[in-house]
Homo-oligomer: A and B are copies of this chain.
């Protein structure tokens, strides 16, 4: 009985060692990604990184803001350090009759009601190792989106690995 137990343990240990030796990082690769599920306060006071317009189903006008850590990295052209956070807010894309009247022609579109939620990328290389070192978040009316939706963030951002998975460039 003792001998059998010893053999089983020995096999298990050997298997474990073998596993580690041949597939380093395997555990991290298969780890379930972790997401940000608590609203980040104060982001509406952050400095503007840039603005954008999405047509199609999103059909919004949007702004990307950064906390101090993110803005400093952008401005200095340095890698994003731990603690950098990027926020994306968006609004409906509304023609402005008021502005058009002032300009004398139909050319003006402004931000209407908030739309398409608020999104964040939070840099924490260890905590969010499974998604490139960034934790992704999406809130609708302050409520976190389901994990199924959050899982769709990284596969797109993976395309832009050379800029640390961040699409938005700083607009001077």
Set B54, B55, B103, B160: member contacting A98, Cβ < 8 A: B160
| Residue pair A110, B52 in contact (C-beta under 8 Å) | yes
Assembly CA distance A53 to B157 (angstroms): 26
| Residue pair B53, A159 in contact (C-beta under 8 Å) | no
| Residue pair B105, A56 in contact (C-beta under 8 Å) | yes
Assembly CA distance A169 to B58 (angstroms): 22
| Residue pair B167, A102 in contact (C-beta under 8 Å) | yes
| Residue pair B51, A107 in contact (C-beta under 8 Å) | no
Having A54-B108, A55-B107, A56-B107, one finds 6 other A-B pairs with CB under 8 Å, namely A51-B51, A51-B61, A51-B91, A51-B110, A53-B110, A98-B167
A65 located at the interface, meaning its Cβ lies under 8 Å from any Cβ of chain B in the complex: yes
Beta-carbon contacts under 8 Å, A18-52 to B: 44-45, 47-48, 50-52
Residues of B near A56 (CB, < 8 A) are 103, 105, 107
Assembly CA distance A167 to B98 (angstroms): 8
Assembly CA distance A48 to B91 (angstroms): 13
Nearest-CB distance from A64 to chain B (Å)?
10
| Residue pair B44, A53 in contact (C-beta under 8 Å) | no
Nearest-CB distance from A61 to chain B (Å)?
5
A93 located at the interface, meaning its Cβ lies under 8 Å from any Cβ of chain B in the complex: yes
Nearest-CB distance from A120 to chain B (Å)?
16
| Residue pair A63, B61 in contact (C-beta under 8 Å) | no
| Residue pair A102, B53 in contact (C-beta under 8 Å) | no
Beta-carbon contacts under 8 Å, A101-115 to B: 101-103, 105, 107-111, 114
